[in-house]
Amino acid sequence: MKKRILENIKTIFYALIIALVIRSFLFQPFYIPSSSMEPNLQIGDRLFVSKYTYGYSRHSFPFSPNLSSKRFFDRKPQQGDVVVFKTPADNRTDYIKRLIGLPGDIIQILNGDLYINDSKVPREKKISTYLINCGDQILKVNAYIETLPNGKKYTAVYHAENTMQNTNKFIVPVDHYFFLGDNRDCSKDSRFLSSVGYVSSNNLVGKARVIFFSNDIKIGNFFKFWKWNKSLRFERFFKRIK
């Protein structure tokens, strides 16, 4: 009996070690709790983030232990990547946004248009309009296909009444990045310097890769199986994140 208990403890221990290695060095699951990346990421999406894409820092590990201030096997992210990062305000909270500005870039929003290095980012309006969540509100928005300087395309949405305020110019510091939510009128991102602002490369956690599960939490959670036919978004299962 004692031997069996010890074997079970060893099995559990090894399983925890394997899970920790996978989570820290390969893939980590994340949950989307807000609407800031709609329509591309929706509340209730669960996704995998690759930890190896940009290399490793202390934020690659659980609880962000202060082991080193350096980044190892560092690889630079690309404009348009959807990235999970730790907010500079507390180095603890996970945010997920789209990378817009690289080190040295000048970012500005004028009359609802996004400018990078004084050039307006081309965008093409989609025929359909979206209804987007923003807190407890549902907003009617205009959807556009934006094309970044490197050719990356994605859908961004703006309030139909064009409420997005003009900004001053943001000059991205060395070794930092500038992020925006795709739901532009409902996202706390690098425009808010006191809470997010410019994000250090050491704060990057990983690149969002694929949605593996999604359910509409307004209808019911996973444990309410009798509502699965209405709450589960099967069309989003194993959807690649662009």
Catalytic residues: 36, 97
Tokens 């050719």 sit on residue: 151
Give the type of residue at 75.
Answer: R
What are the residues facing 215 on neighbouring strands?
Answer: 232
Tokens 């990045």 sit on residue: 177
Tokens 């990057």 sit on residue: 204
Give the type of residue at 127.
Answer: I
What sign for the dihedral angle of Cα 27, 29, 33, 38? positive
Query: Token pair for residue 219?
Result: 């209808």
Nearest Cα to Cα of residue 106 among 117, 95, 93: 117
Strand (E) or helix (H) holding 199: strand 199-200
CA 117 to the chain's CA centroid = 24
Do the strands 123-125 and 119-120 form a parallel or antiparallel pair, or are they unpaired?
unpaired
Alpha helices in the chain (DSSP H): 2-21, 228-231
Give the type of residue at 16.
Answer: L
CA distances for 85 relative to 88, 167, 193, 203, 225, angstroms:
9, 23, 15, 5, 33
